[in-house]
Amino acid sequence: MEILSQNRCFGGVQTVVRHRSDVCRCSMTLGVFMPPQAEERPVPALWFLSGLTCTHENAMTKAGLQAHAARHGLALIFPDTSPRGEGVADDDAYDLGQGAGFYVNATQAPWRGHYQMYDYVVKELPALLESEFALNGVHGITGHSMGGHGAITIALRNPDRYRSLSAFAPIVNPTRSDWGRKQLSAYLGDDEAQWAAHDASLLLEEAGWKGDILIDQGAADQFLDLLRPEAMAEALARTRQPSVLRLQPGYDHSYFFVASFGEDHVRWHAERLASA
């Protein structure tokens, strides 16, 4: 791994690294925050998956999570949202291609050569980071918008890998949203049966979750119709899933919203990862 930058941060260290991804077949950049406790012992990791148009940098610099993670002794992992670089397929639209990987393994041309973000986040990157940083193998996952979609679907499909789960304004019903149908069709093809494995509301009813889930959603979010929080509320109720789903009055879709409730989410994960 090539270190691009390192900065002292709340007693820990915020590092940005680049490495060659075998599954995405390109160089990938990510942020890793190690809290001060990691100087004495391996620590749990909280993954933050970002949304459409973002890189690793958005949440790393705007969400304000490092102070809370340092207090609780959690590492923070900020992956990119897609493969990038020369030869990587892209689209003129902001919501497809580079910056919009949707955390799936693409099976359709021209995306399948590089867009293997599910395997990258779930398999390749954890193994790499655990060999390079003082991580203890205990993981939680959260994310914002498209990243919230990724966090919930990845956790529900891998309950043995993740011990805690939360999301900020997640896309929870992509099979019924323009933030989903377009991308799932492009990456996975037109067989909608293949899309269900990447729909949080459908997955919850099929598989459930072993613990509890925290979801914060801004009531003034300009993208509410695309996020479809009502679908998740209905799924949580039907499955009687232990959860906290909060509709926060006046908050929009921005990182100001994420930063406002970031402390709650870090504490949520810290309590569950500490007892793992």
pLDDT value of residue 268: 98
The percent helix, strand, coil of the chain (3-state, each to 5) is 40, 25, 35
DSSP assigned state of 197: G
Residue 145 backbone dihedrals phi, psi, to 5 degrees: 60, -115
Strand order across the 75-78 sheet: 2-9, 12-21, 26-34, 75-78, 43-49, 135-143, 162-168, 213-218, 243-248
pLDDT value of residue 186: 98
pLDDT tens digits, residue range 138-147? 999 999 999 9
Q: Which two tokens stand for residue 256?
A: 């100001």
CA atoms within 13 A on the CB side of 158: 19
**What residues are annotated to the active site?**
145, 221, 253
pLDDT value of residue 195: 97
pLDDT value of residue 177: 97
pLDDT tens digits, residue range 2-19? 999 999 999 999 999 999
Count Cβ atoms within 10 A of the Cβ of residue 78 and give its class: 0-12 exposed, 13-18 middle, 19 or more buried. Answer: buried
Give residue for tokens 């459908």: 202
- Give the chain's residues under pLDDT 70: 276
Give residue for tokens 């001060």: 36
Q: In angstroms, rounded to a whole number, what is the distance separating the alpha carbons of residues 121 and 133?
A: 16
Q: In angstroms, rounded to a whole number, what is the distance separating the alpha carbons of residues 213 and 204?
A: 11
How far is C-alpha 126 from the chain's CA centre?
A: 13
DSSP assigned state of 21: E
Write the single-letter amino acid at 101.
Answer: G
Q: In angstroms, rounded to a whole number, what is the distance separating the alpha carbons of residues 103 and 112?
A: 13
**Neighbouring-strand partners of residue 47:** 77, 141
Length of the chain: 276
Where is 47: in which H helix or E strand?
strand 43-49
Q: Is 42 helix (H, G, I), strand (E, B) or coil?
A: coil
